[in-house]
Structure 1
Amino acid sequence: MPTTLEYTIPSMTGRTVVITGANSGLGKAAALVLAGVDARVVLAVRSLEKGRAAAEAMGGDVEVRELDLADLGSVRSFAETFTDPIDILINNAGIMIPPLRRTAEGFESQFGTNHLGHFALTNLLLPQIRDRVVTLSSLAHKSGAIDFDDLNWERRPYKPMVAYGQSKLANLLFTSELQRRLTECSSPVIAIAAHPGLAATNLFGRSGHRVRDAISAAAIGLISQSEQHGALPTLCAATADIPGNSYVGPGGFQQTRGEPKLVGRSAEASDAEVARRLWTVSEELTGIGFPL
């Protein structure tokens, strides 16, 4: 059963938070709050120009670093040049239902960006992380399936929403296997997952079909919550006293809106064997393994 979380965001003085994709949407909303409670916030973003504009609007101790999760060379460069201790890594960036595209390494863009990019980034930064890794999933994980025979949509006709569901399921499986490994090596670091419910962000309206995108945006606007409310599960996952492998989402109607709670996940997202297999495949695809 979902568990209500009674929490307030504490002072973050002296703590460093790295947030991917924080120049807009949920990441920007979370960064604004964390900067407001005196965290050092690092916006890891693809566009330095957009990142700097977002940072200027925030105030506080905010800096901008370049990171393109669709390019493992960029991920490695970020990790090599950012050597400071990190208290919290928030794997927030993501893309949703674009036309079929490929990352720099040839991965399907949603699987490559949403899962493999964050998988690589987390493992490269893990020796510097002192508190926790927060990874954003989605309600769409419930319709997802991991097709190990065609993870990158090279054989099947491409279906954007199915591919998105696979990437978001991968985020949850990654979190559970990361927590298992952290526990096994007695690390104090924990892995947490979160989802925003149905939030009106710039993820919607990117399918490439103008009429469909307009209808989608209008519908989402009627039933969704704001980016600020959508960021609350992320903030809770990043700051609340909760156990590793928790999953935080809105506690309202079918997890689409409301105050953050500990929520359930699909049976597929709880499959430990699939999580281990996905981890092994992800290591093979990225060339990056668990460093502890």
Structure 2
Amino acid sequence: MATETWTPAPLPDLAGRTAVVTGASSGLGAFTARELARAGARVVLAVRDPAKGKTVAGAIAGDTEVRALDLGDLASVRAFADTWSGTLDILVNNAGIMAVPQGRTADGFELHIGTNHLGHFALTTLLLPHISDRIVTVSSGLARIGRIDLDDLNWEHRRYKPMRAYGQSKLANLLFTLELQRRLTEAGSPVRALSAHPGVAATPLDRHVGGLQAVFTRIGYRFIGQKQPEFGALPTLYAATQDLPGDSYVGPGGRSGERPRVEKRTARDSDTAVARRLWDLSEEMTGARYPR
């Protein structure tokens, strides 16, 4: 399913609606926040560095608020959720890290799985009683190289490989969406869980990529992918505002990524058994549980 050339210009009127965008202090998140605000939404920029977030918010024409959120620290995630009041229409789980050196979050999780998946898992489940419309989780085309090792999610027993760790976390994003939508449907909830990926977009996310991977990334920017964060954010904006069924996975279409389209899932990111086991493990690791 593909669209004609699409830009955020025809976003529906979002007046009276509230959106949270994680990682909105740069790149895709900043553009996503700007466009949602331009369409009339009240946008909360959930960022690790509030000073940077305020700089971005100051350049946005619209109703914005900056709140501190460190997805690598469950205490910060809980504090953000505990202080939320009122309805949250759209949650955009955008923040992420890529190919960083091996390290641990404040809670002892491997940095990629802890930040990209577990932080957003906890945030979403804690905020879910407030969410009225949809959750959009930003994955990556590199989810295709990911493997979920449920016995070693934190890379304690394997040789650490930054891109593989990133791929695992991005595959986890897709399996999280799959299982979340199953639970929402089972509960008869109108809330939808969707995912998106930007394709190849030149953002600060790849600053830790080195070696041959860096060479291939630069080639991708030049020949096979979009270069601008604006194009990379289109699938997220499409997933956040268009009438799509739950568990839709939106990616870029066209040479420059200007035509968002719903993509086919792979067998790996459609594995319902692994998705359920990952969910159970994520609950155990974070202490954040699906509302019952």
TM-score, normalised relative to structure 2: 0.94
Equivalences, count: 286
> Residue 117 of structure 2 corresponds to which residue in structure 1?
115
> Residue 2 of structure 2 corresponds to which residue in structure 1?
4
Contact 2:200 2:221 in 1 (8 A): no
**Shift, 1:220, TM fit:** 4.7
**Shift, 1:85, TM fit:** 0.9
**Shift, 1:149, TM fit:** 1.4
Contact 1:200 1:220 in 2 (8 A): no
Unaligned runs of 5+ in 2: none
Runs of 4+ in 1 over 2 A off after TM superposition: 5-8, 211-221
> Residue 260 of structure 2 corresponds to which residue in structure 1?
260
SS for the counterpart of 2:89 is: strand
> Residue 137 of structure 1 corresponds to which residue in structure 2?
139
Pair 1:152–1:252, CA change in 2 (3 A): same
Aligned residue identity for 1:264:
K
> Residue 286 of structure 1 corresponds to which residue in structure 2?
286
Contact 1:251 1:263 in 2 (8 A): no
Contact 1:205 1:214 in 2 (8 A): no
Task: Provide the C-alpha distance between the structure 1 equivalents of 2:205 and 2:144, rounded to a whole number of angstroms.
Answer: 18
Q: 5 Å matches for 1:109-258?
A: 109-207=111-209, 215=215, 218-223=218-223, 224-225=225-226, 226-252=228-254, 257-258=257-258
**Shift, 1:71, TM fit:** 0.2
Aligned residue identity for 1:73:
A
Q: Deviations over 1:83-132 (max 9, x none)?
A: 22100000000000000010011100000000000000000000000000
Q: Deviations over 1:25-64 (max 9, x none)?
A: 1011111111111110000000010000000011210110
Aligned residue identity for 1:4:
A
Aligned residue identity for 1:152:
N
Task: Provide the C-alpha distance between the structure 2 equivalents of 1:231 and 1:120, rounded to a whole number of angstroms.
Answer: 23
Task: Provide the C-alpha distance between the structure 2 equivalents of 1:63 and 1:168, rounded to a whole number of angstroms.
Answer: 28
Aligned residue identity for 2:90:
I
Q: Deviations over 1:194-249 (max 9, x none)?
A: 00111111111214x5x778756643542331100110000000000010000000
> Residue 275 of structure 2 corresponds to which residue in structure 1?
275
TM-score, normalised relative to structure 1: 0.94
Task: Provide the C-alpha distance between the structure 2 equivalents of 1:40 and 1:81, rounded to a whole number of angstroms.
Answer: 17
Unaligned runs of 5+ in 1: none
> Residue 83 of structure 2 corresponds to which residue in structure 1?
81
Task: Provide the C-alpha distance between the structure 1 equivalents of 2:263 and 2:125, rounded to a whole number of angstroms.
Answer: 26
Q: Deviations over 1:166-221 (max 9, x none)?
A: 000000000010000000110110100000111111111214x5x77875664354
**Shift, 1:265, TM fit:** 2.0
SS for the counterpart of 1:203 is: helix
Task: Provide the C-alpha distance between the structure 2 equivalents of 1:197 and 1:218, rounded to a whole number of angstroms.
Answer: 13
**Shift, 1:162, TM fit:** 0.6
Task: Provide the C-alpha distance between the structure 2 equivalents of 1:198 and 1:263, rounded to a whole number of angstroms.
Answer: 15
Contact 1:141 1:266 in 2 (8 A): no
Identity %: 58
Task: Provide the C-alpha distance between the structure 2 equivalents of 1:270 and 1:222, rounded to a whole number of angstroms.
Answer: 31
The question of 1:93 aligning with 2:91 is answered: no
Contact 2:113 2:169 in 1 (8 A): yes
Contact 2:71 2:119 in 1 (8 A): yes
